[in-house]
């Protein structure tokens, strides 16, 4: 099956007919199948509205959205919107708040069962989804409410993955998780991406964007101000300040070193920065 790309053409969206304020204004964006896209911008800039449109939860006021061969616009029916949703899985913020079943298996099976899949296919989907989020199969019979915060989050994500979406939207997936759970989850998501899933990651963590994304979409007051690789986005401090974005830690430290007279090649990786610094110090024979 050809994986679906996303094409957003001149999309505007307003939450109310009476509002002059557009939540999204004339957004144009193409996302290639298999991309890992970081969606960034200040609170209220339009990130959630953009991904809700891609998931067919709302329809554009103007313009069109194409996901694969499905196109929706202002007059699309609920049925057309649901066709869009078949390609897309949306992991909301704090998705564990939506866990409801008495055991993990039933919870993860909910989505695939609603798609009308056979019992055998649903069972397999639950099994695969647990593997994808790195949880043991033995958790199936446990109450989701008896698990740790990180495990509950992964069960909730497994519930979305069980429907095998080609495009996965994640809104701040590591919010509130400790460093270990964050690392595990980001590694799981990278693995899904390596297997071909298109990832759309809304985050305020610029280090996550620098490490994982191949494209960054910067939103500001309902406008898409730039879509470019992270190396380009994070190379311009004035652009970052104007759009209320932090620098990744490695970029920030590199700038500080530069101001102190230690000029190193640009990098977004702490490991690469540390290696460069060690090489430089050795070259100067500083212990
Ligand atoms: P972000 O995800 O970047 O924080 P949103 O897409 O949630 O931004 O919001 C974009 C704009 O739309 C903001 O001005 C916000 O106040 C407004 N907005 C978001 N959701 C609603 C809603 N359900 N009803 C009315 N206005 C909304």
Structure tokens at 182: 């964050």
- Residue 228's H or E segment, with its range, is strand 223-228
> Which letter, b or e, does each residue of 124-141 get, where b requires 16 or more Cβ atoms within 10 Å of its Cβ?
ebbeebbebbebeeebbe
Q: Which residue has the tokens 């960054």?
A: 216
CA–centroid distance, residue 202 to ligand 1 (Å): 14
* Lowest mean pLDDT, pick from 10-19, 28-37, 86-95: 10-19
For a mutational test of ligand 1's pocket, the pick from 14, 15, 172, i.e. the residue with the most ligand atoms closer than 8 A to its C-beta, is 15
Closest residue (by CA) to atom 14 of ligand 1? 44
Nearest atom (ligand 1) to Cα of 42:
3
Tokens of 261: 């007279």
Query: Given this model, what pLDDT does residue 244 score?
Result: 96
| Ligand 1 nearest-atom number relative to CA 24 | 10
Closest CA to 166 of 38, 31, 24, 10: 31
Closest CA to 227 of 92, 50, 93, 58: 50
| pLDDT tens string 49-63 | 999 999 999 999 999
Q: Could you tell me what percent of the chain has a pLDDT over 70? A: 98
Pick the residue whose CA is nearest to atom 25 on ligand 1: 15
Instruction: Write out pLDDT tens, residues 156-179.
Output: 999 999 999 999 999 999 999 899
**Residue (of 108, 104, 209, 211) closest to 163 by Cα position:** 108
- Segment 211-222, tens digit of pLDDT: 999 999 999 999
pLDDT band at 287 (very low <50, low <70, confident <90, very high): very low
Q: How far does residue 55's CA lie from ligand 1's centre (Å)?
A: 16
- 80-127 residue pLDDT tens: 999 999 999 999 999 999 999 999 999 999 999 999 999 999 999 999
pLDDT at 12 over 60: yes
Tell me what the pLDDT averaged over the chain comes to: 94
- C-alpha distances out from residue 41 to 48, 50, 131, 219, Å: 11, 12, 32, 5
The CA distance from 251 to 268, in Å, is: 6
Q: What are the chain's domains?
A: 6-229 (3.40.50.300)
Query: pLDDT at residue 238 above 60?
Result: yes
Q: In this structure, what token pair is assigned to residue 40?
A: 């960034």
Question: What's the rounded mean pLDDT across residues 267-287?
Answer: 84
Report whether 38 contacts 214 (CB < 8 A). no
Task: Describe the crossing of helices 119-132 and 149-161 by its angle, rounded to 10 degrees.
Answer: 130
Tens-place pLDDT, residues 128-151: 999 999 999 999 999 999 999 999
């Amino acid at each position: 099956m050809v994986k679906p790309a996303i094409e957003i053409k001149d999309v505007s969206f307003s939450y109310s007919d009476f509002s002059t304020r557009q939540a999204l204004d004339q957004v144009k964006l193409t996302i290639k199948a298999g991309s890992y896209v970081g969606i960034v911008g200040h609170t209220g800039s339009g990130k959630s509205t953009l991904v809700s449109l891609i998931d067919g939860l709302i329809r554009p006021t103007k313009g069109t959205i194409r996901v694969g061969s499905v196109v929706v616009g202002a007059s699309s029916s609920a049925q057309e919107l649901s066709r869009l949703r078949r390609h897309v899985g949306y992991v909301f913020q704090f998705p564990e708040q939506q866990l409801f079943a008495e055991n993990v298996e039933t919870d993860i099976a909910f989505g695939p069962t609603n798609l009308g899949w056979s019992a055998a296919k649903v069972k397999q989907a639950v099994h695969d989804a647990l593997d994808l989020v790195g949880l043991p199969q033995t958790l199936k019979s446990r109450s989701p409410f008896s698990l740790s915060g990180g495990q509950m989050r992964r069960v909730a994500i497994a519930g979305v993955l069980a429907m095998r979406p080609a495009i996965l939207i994640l809104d701040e997936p590591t919010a509130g998780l400790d460093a270990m759970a964050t690392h595990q989850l980001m590694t799981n998501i990278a693995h899904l991406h390596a297997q071909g899933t298109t990832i759309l990651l809304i985050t305020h963590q610029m280090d996550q964007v620098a490490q994982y994304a191949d494209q960054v979409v910067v939103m500001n007051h309902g406008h898409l101000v730039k879509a470019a690789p992270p190396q380009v986005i994070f190379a311009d401090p004035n652009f970052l300040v104007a759009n209320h974005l932090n620098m990744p830690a490695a970029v920030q430290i590199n700038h500080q070193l530069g101001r102190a007279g230690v000029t190193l090649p640009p990098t977004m990786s702490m490991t690469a920065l540390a290696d460069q610094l060690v090489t430089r110090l050795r070259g100067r024979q500083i212990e």
